[in-house]
Structure 1
Amino acid sequence: MKNRVYKVEISLDKSEDISSAQCSCPKGIKCHHIAALLLFAHYNVSVTDKHSDYLTQKCAVSVSTIMDVVNKTVGQHKNENWHFARKHRLTASNFGPVLSACRRNRFPDSLYRSLIGVYNLDGVKAIQWGRTHESVALENFTKATNLNVLPTGLWLTPTGFLGGSPDGLVGEDCIVEVKCPYSHRNDDLQEKLKNTKSYIIYFNDDGELHINKQHHYYDQVQSLLYILNRVQCYLVIWTLKGSVIAIIKKDLSWASNVTILQSFYVNQYIPKLIENVYNVK
């Protein structure tokens, strides 16, 4: 049997019903190519397009729901509601790695395992160190700035599947994010981070502090400012040698990444989640 290529055209009306269909093959009414294309579209195009629209509609949340989630998740990792509310959502701490993967168009299995929660991070020294010393860092921040920090919970976007949990709120326009880097726990940051862009901040030869916008933490901070609609973040970096307070202003251009994150969640993450949780491919 010879392999031949035929041209199939199918037109739909505004109700998505078939208005016309034709195939260039010579079989006339016995042609099966039109039916084959419709079946392919049903099991492929509809899954990625129609189902993504359905998911987007079903996940959407109201302002009252957003605030209800915030209030019920205060305490964050110490609150069971926070862990439950974050499950299967894409949250700010993972936005950096996800955006990097999207820019490269490479999505390693390790990324999905991290997002789905395959890894148990409770015993990781760096995680334990950060959680243990976060309150100390916030106390030092309050003493240094005379600013009060209000505890908060998980904030969602209206999509319902993107969210983030800042370490604290300051006034009506600012947030606080704390980092207690285990790898730098014994370091003087101004000496250790001089002219190196291995971390979220670095210092030049004159000792001036700069923000490394290529670091994953920058995406995390900007996403939190976007989600909470606030204008400034106090980034507190604490070590045993002292604290550094960096101010990061809201970058309005960062908002273009939200569409990328939403597309990743619907078209990449959810199919992978279904495959892993329900063994459906």
Structure 2
Amino acid sequence: MGKDLIRGVHKRNKISKARQRTVRKKNEFTNICRSIVEEIVENVINASTHKTCHDNDTQQTNFDDEYDFPSFMNSEEYMSVSQHNLTYEKEEDQCKIGGYRFVEIDYFLKKTLSLQSLHNLKCTGGKLAYSSEKRSGLVSVYTLKCNMCDCEEHLATEKPQTSEEKSNNHSTINTAAAWGTLSTGGSYTHLTELLSVMNVPPLGGTVQKIECVNHCIKNYSKHLYRIKKDTKSVALETRKLLTNQRIKDLTRNAQKAIYANAHGDISQLKHDLQNSVPCSFGNHSKCQTYLCNHVGDTASDNMSQLLIDNETNNRAELFMSLLARFNMGKRLNLIQRDGFQMRSYLSALRYNVGQSWHHKSWKQYFKKCPSKILKTYMTQQEEKHRKRTNTIRVKHSAVKRLKFDTTNKENNRDYGPNISEVFMTTDEIKDETNKLLERLKVNYEKQQEIARDTIGQFENPKYVSERAFRLTASHFGAVIRRRPTTSCNALVKTILRTTSSTCTAAIEYGKKNECVAVLKFQEKTGKTVERAGLYIDVDHGFLGASPDGVINKNEIIEVKCMYKVAQVGLSVQQAVERKCITCLEKDLQNKIRLRRNHDYFFQIQGQLAITGAEICYFTVYTGDKNDIFIEEIKADKDIWNTIMLPKLIDFYVNCIAPNIIENRPGRGLQCKDPPSIIEAQNALRTKKEQTKQKRQE
């Protein structure tokens, strides 16, 4: 090659035949496209310069023959479209942002270009435009919205923080602004003035105050002592609990919690502060090892089983006081010659018989009545005892009631009956609801144990305690058939009532004749029925059911005593025909059955689902003279899973649980409605107003 260059000869590389064929095809395709474009341009020019009008003497040509119109348009339509004046509307710029901003230029430019290019891949016909701005100090986050697909993208003036920076709440520009202001001897006011002159939006006007631990503990202690000294709105029993030592324990435990969680997790600090109160009162079940030395020490607190019998040692104390009288207060040695035993017998006579113990003993020993003087003495002692007993009863019935000062509500808004409404955020209510649901859960063994221990319903104290905070089957129908616009106040208060319903004649009749109906059922069917307690759902611990009886693990019984029908003396057949029983109806085969949309039907389906049984014998009792009505109702899992269970869960989580957490029924406040009910009520109100306006028009 060097020789060729010296000689002035340029030798080119030889092109392969395959390459030559490719180049030849490209050239041919280019020539074809060029010819097509030139022909189209020539036709357009000829059509625009062609004249359709000639002199009157010349023959007028047909317009349709000169031009080739589309098949969907004739000449008149074509002329109408071509002569139509176009209108246009100028789109105003929606960007109303002003002033200057501090931006991290490298990140901002790259992010802007990448957002637009990536969005063009998804939406080719639209463009991103400014929608809104969210400022955090000197950092701005812009929301860009597409005018075609309404897709939103976010663009920040500063590179987003890492996880470590987020935990430390660091921002480069905000920290740098504060740093530079302090280092140059400036202040927040100086920085605000400087930024305003530069036409830059200043830092936010809200300043978060950092609480001083010493002042916080001091105020905590001061308020505790104020409660202890408040004799007007705080009961004496409550003030006795706040001893000086206990107040010191409360403040010390709170200070320990703050010190242990310094620069740590806020939720853990909140938990430790809340637990400092039960820890100070001896409940160490939730204490942490770094705060308390008695973690998990609950053996001394579990004393409830020892109080269930409501026993006292009053009688033993009374007997010992009588014995002390007979043995002269243990001042003499009465052990010899059975002296102490004899005096114990005398004390027992005095305890069992009372003031007249002399009379029976004297008459049995001497075979004659005691003297008149002894009888007079015994009569006087009995009269004194009677007066003393009556005086004690009067004193107990006339106990001075605690009066609250309701005149000064501002000073006592945090304590006493005038306590202000407690505000809890949505996240706090959600966390407490999850804790409540977790606390109400039971397993199968616990379910069976509670069912055995709660027989007797409201007459059994354990039934009342286990039923509290749970939604039972007797209220399932009211929950399911409730309208979306109906307030939950009345229903929630009814469900959370800790006592049985108001005692009416119908309720008394049902309690009295329920056992009679069960006996008739046993005689008619030959099945043995056992009493049942409260069954708690294993999957959803906040649901419960109390059937009237259990036959076996697959069969239960529910009894309804019809008071009004029994008073009239009608049978079930007659009462249904006269429509005196609303819960029963006749089906297509003219057979009596329970209405499938009645509360009793939803109650029975709930009992079957919670107990795990397959069949419930719905029994109707209308008096001893009439035969009982029995219908065999089978469990319908589709109704339970698709209709009942979703509504029950939604009502408990959104209506019952928040009011339990805030204790609104216990404080005499109206139960809160969830947002779903409020929205439904507003929609109904709007619809009624619109209907009213249409009628007026």
Is TM (by shorter chain) over 0.5? Answer: yes
Question: Among 492, 513, 516, which residue is 1:136 paired with?
Answer: 516
Question: Among 441, 454, 461, which residue is 1:73 paired with?
Answer: 454
Where does residue 82 of structure 1 map in the other structure? 463
The percentage of aligned residue pairs carrying the same residue is: 24
Is residue 2:530 matched to residue 1:150?
Answer: yes
User: 1:244 is aligned with what amino acid?
Assistant: F
The aligned length equals: 259
Question: Among 191, 199, 210, which residue is 2:574 paired with?
Answer: 191
User: 1:66 is aligned with what amino acid?
Assistant: Q
Distance 1:197 1:203, change over 3 A: farther
The CA deviation at 1:31 is 8.1
User: 1:173 is aligned with what amino acid?
Assistant: N
Is 1:55–1:266's contact at 8 Å kept on the other side of the alignment?
Answer: no
Cα separation, 1, equivalents of 2:435 and 2:565: 46
Where does residue 211 of structure 1 map in the other structure? 594
Where does residue 242 of structure 1 map in the other structure? 627
Is 1:202–1:212's contact at 8 Å kept on the other side of the alignment?
Answer: yes
Cα separation, 2, equivalents of 1:118 and 1:82: 10
Once the two structures are overlaid, the 10-residue window that deviates more, 157-166 or 56-65, is 56-65
Q: Under a length normalisation based on structure 1, what TM-score does the superposition of the two structures give?
A: 0.79
The CA deviation at 1:90 is 1.1
Where does residue 35 of structure 1 map in the other structure? none
- Could you report, residue by residue, the CA deviation over 1:240-264 in whole angstroms, capped at 9, with x for unpaired residues? 1221001111111122322321221
Once the two structures are overlaid, the 10-residue window that deviates more, 134-143 or 261-270, is 261-270
Once the two structures are overlaid, the 10-residue window that deviates more, 135-144 or 256-265, is 256-265
Classify the secondary structure of the residue corresponding to 1:160. coil
Question: Among 629, 638, 659, which residue is 1:272 paired with?
Answer: 659
- Could you report, residue by residue, the CA deviation over 1:58-117 in whole angstroms, capped at 9, with x for unpaired residues? 32222222122111012224322222221232111111111222x534135332332222
Name structure 1 gaps, 5 residues minimum.
21-25, 33-41
User: 1:46 is aligned with what amino acid?
Assistant: D
Q: Where in structure 2 are the equivalents of 1:122-133 lying within 5 Å?
A: 122-133=502-513
Classify the secondary structure of the residue corresponding to 2:628. strand
Cα separation, 2, equivalents of 1:198 and 1:262: 31
Distance 1:212 1:55, change over 3 A: same
Question: Among 224, 248, 252, which residue is 2:637 paired with?
Answer: 252
Where does residue 222 of structure 1 map in the other structure? 605
- 4+ residue runs of structure 1 moved beyond 6 angstroms? none
Is 1:164–1:224's contact at 8 Å kept on the other side of the alignment?
Answer: yes
Is residue 2:558 matched to residue 1:169?
Answer: no
User: 2:653 is aligned with what amino acid?
Assistant: V
Distance 1:260 1:183, change over 3 A: same
Structure with higher Rg: it is 2
Is 2:522–2:529's contact at 8 Å kept on the other side of the alignment?
Answer: yes
Classify the secondary structure of the residue corresponding to 2:556. strand
Once the two structures are overlaid, the 10-residue window that deviates more, 121-130 or 194-203, is 194-203
Is 2:547–2:556's contact at 8 Å kept on the other side of the alignment?
Answer: yes
- Could you report, residue by residue, the CA deviation over 1:145-184 in whole angstroms, capped at 9, with x for unpaired residues? 1111121110001332210111111222111000002122
Is 1:195–1:205's contact at 8 Å kept on the other side of the alignment?
Answer: no
Question: Among 649, 657, 678, which residue is 1:262 paired with?
Answer: 649
Cα separation, 2, equivalents of 1:120 and 1:56: 24
Is 2:659–2:665's contact at 8 Å kept on the other side of the alignment?
Answer: yes
Name structure 2 gaps, 5 residues minimum.
1-130, 135-140, 142-153, 155-159, 170-199, 207-422, 673-697
Classify the secondary structure of the residue corresponding to 1:218. helix
Once the two structures are overlaid, the 10-residue window that deviates more, 80-89 or 235-244, is 80-89
Distance 1:7 1:105, change over 3 A: farther
Cα separation, 2, equivalents of 1:113 and 1:237: 29
Distance 1:7 1:122, change over 3 A: same
Distance 1:143 1:164, change over 3 A: same
Where does residue 23 of structure 1 map in the other structure? none
Cα separation, 2, equivalents of 1:119 and 1:220: 19
Cα separation, 2, equivalents of 1:7 and 1:187: 76
Cα RMSD of the aligned pairs, angstroms, is: 3.4
Classify the secondary structure of the residue corresponding to 1:123. coil
Where does residue 615 of structure 2 map in the other structure? 232
Cα separation, 1, equivalents of 2:536 and 2:499: 23
Cα separation, 2, equivalents of 1:93 and 1:55: 22
Is 2:531–2:550's contact at 8 Å kept on the other side of the alignment?
Answer: yes
Classify the secondary structure of the residue corresponding to 2:533. coil
Q: Under a length normalisation based on structure 2, what TM-score does the superposition of the two structures give?
A: 0.34
Once the two structures are overlaid, the 10-residue window that deviates more, 66-75 or 133-142, is 66-75
User: 1:203 is aligned with what amino acid?
Assistant: K
The CA deviation at 1:233 is 0.5
